[in-house]
Homo-oligomer: A and B are copies of this chain.
């Protein structure tokens, strides 16, 4: 397999970096080819704006999706976006490695999504969810939290982790056609002992060795929805 790891932590000695390094070593040892987009190291531009288009189709009014489509056709998309898109196309599996900040992606990683997942590339008319532009590929979130696992439940203070990750796993990964594998969550490594952190890395190591055996999350394919985007009656549980 070819695997793309998108890494979003600045500190080289962080637990996130340790997870990323472990993934590179483990997956390469398994014979996979691993490419890392180290967003902080690359100083990746986080903000989607008009400069993402080398030429503007409409200079008087920025309508992003229209410019994205035009730039894809004309080859005028910013170079750093094109490079990330090529990495995605070449990948069989994409791992997003990040600390959960404010119950979501750090801005640098959200900006990678905002800028790289352009219309006409990652999605379009009839081209989303199982029919998304990146279909045939899998993806996995690998993240750390600040708080303990006990708070991430339906009756916990943080809310359930499934609910918190839904906009990312369903709304980003699956929307683009990537089949999301169950996420790997390391809860509160900053509050753990070295021994506990080593055990967490060992647990991640086992997960990385078992990637082939994992079933993607059971999201509905596009065909299960009617023309108004509602689940057809036979799929309501």
Interface residues of A (CB under 8 A from B): 10-11, 13-14, 40, 46-50, 61-63, 65, 101-108, 110-111, 113-114, 117, 129, 146-148, 150-151, 153, 155-159, 163-164, 166-168, 170-172, 175, 190, 220, 222, 225, 228-231, 236
Contact = CB atoms under 8 A, between A and B. Distances in A.
15 contacts: A46-B46, A46-B47, A46-B108, A102-B172, A102-B175, A104-B110, A107-B111, A147-B229, A151-B228, A151-B229, A156-B231, A157-B229, A158-B171, A159-B171, A164-B166
Contact of A167 (B151, B167, B230): B167
B61 A231 contact: no
A105 to B, nearest CB: 7
B229 A156 contact: yes
A127 to B, nearest CB: 13
Contact of A103 (B47, B108, B150, B172): B172
A172 B101 CA distance: 10
Contacts of A166: 159, 163-164
Contacts of A10: 49-50, 62
Contacts of A167: 102-104, 159, 164, 167
Contacts of A158: 171, 229
A145 to B, nearest CB: 11
Chain A to chain B: the 6 pairs with minimum beta-carbon distance, closest first: A103-B171, A107-B111, A151-B229, A103-B167, A157-B229, A107-B110
A82 B222 CA distance: 46
Given A164-B171, A167-B164, A62 B157 contact: no
Contacts of A157: 129, 220, 222, 225, 229-230
A46 B45 CA distance: 9
A103 B164 CA distance: 12
Contact of A171 (B104, B117, B222, B229): B104
A229 to B, nearest CB: 3
Nearest to A147: B229
Given A229-B150, A229-B158, A110 B102 contact: yes
Contacts of A106: 48, 110, 114
